[in-house]
Structure formats: C-alpha cells, structure tokens
Amino acid sequence: MSERNALERRIRAWLILFVVCLVLSGLTAFPLVSELRWSNALIDNAWLRRVGDGLDRADAEYPFLLYGTDWLAFAHLVIAVFFYGVYRDPVRNIWIVEAGMIACAGVVPLALICGPIRGIPFWWSVIDISFGVFGVIPLLILRRMIKRLETETAAAS
C-alpha cells in the first residue's frame, strides 16, 4: 500500500472516531431526564440531585424547556454530517476540521462566562471545558495528517 493510501486510511479512521463521539454526545442529550434519574440512582452527588430535580420539575411542569436540549442534540448530529465532506475530500475540506477546532476553542470561554451566570459549579464547567480540550485532539491530528496528504499530493503532481 502506498504512503498516500495509508495516510488516507488513517485520516478516515480518526475522522470516524471523531464523528462517532460527536454523534454519541448529541444522542445523549435526547433522553436527559431519564439519564439523570439513572445517574442519581448510581451516584450520590448534591449537584446531580439538584440537576435531576430541576429536570424532573421542568419535564412535569414546563416540558417545552427540554426542547432546547433536543436542539442541542440535533446540532451535534448536523455538525457530524458536515464532516462527511472531509471524508470525501480531506484536502479540499480541511476548513471543516479547522472550523471544528475553533468550535472546540469556543467551549472554554462559553463555559467560563455562562457557567457562573447560570449558577453552574466551577468543577462542572471544567468538565464542559474538557469536551473542547479532548475534542480538539483528534482534530489537530487530522489537520496535521491532511496537511501531510496535501504535501504528498502536490509532490506527486
């Protein structure tokens, strides 16, 4: 197998890993109420109990509020679809990877600004920030491999 083909296979493997994680992250936002009930049955934590109580109350009295998390889930799925462009043509669509990297970086200020405004404990904001930090790792790896593929493609021409 040529170096170019091996590189394309590695790019696709990392891309699939990222997309699967993005889709799973999005899908978990749909059953939020039942997930919190399950979590609270397993873990004794005051913050999780408070969140679970809030979700139970919202679900019972104001279910339309949970529509926001449905849109959050949908947004994850839509973003995942954009990465198909990278799968088809990584060099031409590297901008999608770079946009994903910018989005990951945006998680940090969002969590640090909006978390305190909404009364989110700092340690929970750190957990949210970790999604951006860990999400950018495969994207950085992908970008580096795509740049290498671009160089090899140009050299072969």
Supply the pTM of this predicted model: 0.89
**Mean pLDDT, rounded, for 56-63:** 96
**Mean pLDDT, rounded, for 126-148:** 96
Structure tokens that stand for 156 in this block: 């072969």
**Mean pLDDT, rounded, for 20-42:** 95
**pLDDT at position 157:** 72
What is the overall mean pLDDT for the chain? 95
Is the distance from CB of 35 to CB of 28 less than 8 angstroms? Answer: yes
